[in-house]
Amino acid sequence: MHSISDIKQGVIKGDFLTLAKAISWIENNGEGATTFLQELLPNSIPIIGVTGPPGAGKSTLINALIANWVNDAKKVAVLSVDPSSPFHQGAILGDRIRMKDWYLHPQVYIRSLAARGHLGGLNSAMLSLTTLMQSVGFDYIIVETVGVGQSEVEIASLADTTVVVLVPEAGDEVQMMKSGLMEIANVFVVNKSDRPNAQTFVNHLNQMILENASASAPQVISTIATEKVGIPELQLAIEQHHESLSIGGNKKEIFLNKVMQLILAHKMNQVEVNKIKTKLELEYNKSNFNIFKFAQEFY
């Protein structure tokens, strides 16, 4: 059993060993982990989701954002995960390079998570880990996820503020994913604005936001992450969005989603896959096999 104050002590000193051990313990649902999680108290430390297509510049942006927070004596935790790739090694290496300024910094903790192999699924693991990070003395928690498909939408919904990173060439992509993107983005970043037609893309995006006419229209920020251009503006947009949440925003919606994730994970943990497999083996070739009837036996 880990103790929250031991982990905190480590974080204060910039020694993350105890934290790292606790993370593995929670990921593996070790003995006492559930009780430990149930004793964490709520707080409003921001969880910032950063998502977008592969290579859009998410890690480079995070690397630049961290600088401003570290200068303000803040502590930052970054969890990065690539749900699309079963082979995570590449992503981990990429992150190490892109966030190289911070890997050994005492105010910054960066952890890459394998996409698979979490009891109850990735989302519940992310929920546990972000809540842990909120409780041990970090001021900002960043979750980096690749892509803007369905699983990313789910992960993004664990965040208080979701930043969707796009690049100027993403026009068609955005057209296709329009509704989904509008739903999850609290802030849009058009990164790689050093490339041609960046301003056209920004205008296009702003037009789409206007047409969408939602009450809380996301801001669009242009950045050149590699040159740290647009970073203070991005930081401000993130902070403004987080403040807007505390005055009546959709916190309840965020919690509802988290509760659903936990229930789902808990139910899935109760499913005995091997039992299903054995039974399926006997039945799936039968001429009267019906998948709906079969599944119902396990409800």
Residue from 192, 204, 241, 242 in contact with ligand GTP (CB under 6 A): 192
CA distance 70 to 66: 6
The answer to whether the beta carbons of residues 133 and 8 sit under 8 Å apart is no
Residue 191 interaction partner, one of ligand GTP, Mg ion, none, beta carbon < 5-8 Å per kind: ligand GTP
Strand 161-166 versus strand 219-222 pairing type: unpaired
Instruction: Say whether residue 145 binds Mg ion (CB under 5 A).
Output: no
**Torsion over CA: 140, 92, 232, 157 (sign):** negative
Instruction: Say whether residue 231 binds ligand GTP (CB under 6 A).
Output: no
Provide, rounded to whole angstroms, the least separation between the CB of residue 52 and ligand GTP.
6
- Strand intervals (E) in the chain: 47-52, 76-81, 108-113, 140-146, 161-166, 187-190, 219-222
The answer to whether the beta carbons of residues 12 and 19 sit under 8 Å apart is no
Provide, rounded to whole angstroms, the least separation between the CB of residue 246 and Mg ion.
29
Instruction: Say whether residue 126 binds ligand GTP (CB under 6 A).
Output: no
Instruction: Say whether residue 94 binds ligand GTP (CB under 6 A).
Output: yes
Neighbours of 182 (CB within 10 A): 18
Instruction: Say whether residue 86 binds ligand GTP (CB under 6 A).
Output: no
**Residue 167 Rama label (left phi>0; alpha psi -120 to 50; beta):** beta
Instruction: Say whether residue 63 binds Mg ion (CB under 5 A).
Output: no
Provide, rounded to whole angstroms, the least separation between the CB of residue 228 and ligand GTP.
9
Query: Given the complex with Mg ion, which of 50 and 265 has the nearer CB atom?
Result: 50
Residue from 18, 51, 59, 131 in contact with Mg ion (CB under 5 A): 59
Which part of the chain contacts Mg ion (CB under 5 A), choosing from 3-11, 51-59, 191-199, 258-266?
A: 51-59
Residue from 2, 58, 111, 241 in contact with ligand GTP (CB under 6 A): 58
Instruction: Say whether residue 230 binds ligand GTP (CB under 6 A).
Output: no
Residue 192 interaction partner, one of Mg ion, ligand GTP, none, beta carbon < 5-8 Å per kind: ligand GTP
Residue 226 interaction partner, one of ligand GTP, Mg ion, none, beta carbon < 5-8 Å per kind: ligand GTP
Classify residue 66 by burial, with Cβ atoms within 10 Å: 0-12, 13-18, 19+.
Answer: buried
DSSP string covering 244-277, please? HHHTT-SHHHHHHHHHHHHHHHHHHHH--HHHHH
Instruction: Say whether residue 191 binds Mg ion (CB under 5 A).
Output: no
Residues that bind Mg ion (CB under 5 A): 58-59
Binding site for ligand GTP (CB under 6 A): 52, 54-60, 91, 94, 98, 146, 191-192, 194, 224-226
